[in-house]
Amino acid sequence: MTAREQADQVALRLGAVDWGPNFQHSASRVRLMREYLRRSALWARELGVLDKWPFFDIAAEFDPEVGRDTEFADAVLEGMRGRGLTYPHTQFCRYMLAFAGSVPPHPDLPDPYEPLLQVYERGGLFDMEHGIILVDHTLQVLVWPMERYLKPGLRYDISEQALAEMDARANG
């Protein structure tokens, strides 16, 4: 798949997101957020930008010119105007689109934004305050310290089956 095709696929997925809450997927969204934080920490360490973690423009760290070409992201975000997407999530969507369209696959690092995209697909936005991410206004994901997400061997199972099982257990 070409970089443009990858960016188009991410754009389609973002365009299909219902930005309103969906409390049926709260448990899986917490796991996805933890996996995003883990992957983002790996990329921050690899790129030597630990101070920018957890939400940062990975594509711009590879090539600062990437951030200057906003036409594609502007068009995608314009298509979502009025559907509940707010700042800073608009920036996070820009990061995803730039990454998908410009960063070649890394042999040792997973796609950092896939779990974050799934967080959105499974229930819209989340809140952030004082080192805590709030999923559906009540479930907390601790951001700091970063080292918790860099433990060797740490991985969160984000397979569709694992996420569906989590949500089924949580929803009784």
pLDDT at 144: 86
pLDDT of 35 above 90? yes
The 10s digit of each residue's pLDDT in 131-151 is: 889 898 888 898 889 999 999
Domain boundaries defined on the chain: 3-167
The pLDDT value given to residue 3 = 83
Q: Which of 2-6, 112-116, 164-168 has the lowest mean pLDDT?
A: 2-6
Please tell me the total number of residues recorded for the chain in this structure.
Answer: 172
**Based on the number of CB atoms within 10 Å of its own CB, is 148 exposed (0-12), middle (13-18) or buried (19 or more)?**
middle
Residue 67 predicted with pLDDT over 80? no
Q: For the whole model, what pTM was predicted?
A: 0.94
The helix/strand/coil state of 39 is helix
For residue 47, with 0-12 CB atoms within 10 Å meaning exposed, 13-18 middle and 19 or more buried, which class applies? middle
First to last CA, the chain: 40
Is a pLDDT exceeding 90 seen at residue 43? Answer: yes
Q: Specify whether the backbone of 131 is left (phi greater than 0), alpha (psi in -120 to 50) or beta.
A: left
Check whether 81 has a pLDDT greater than 90.
no
> What confidence score (pLDDT) does residue 21 get?
85
To the nearest whole percent, how much of the chain has pLDDT over 70?
98
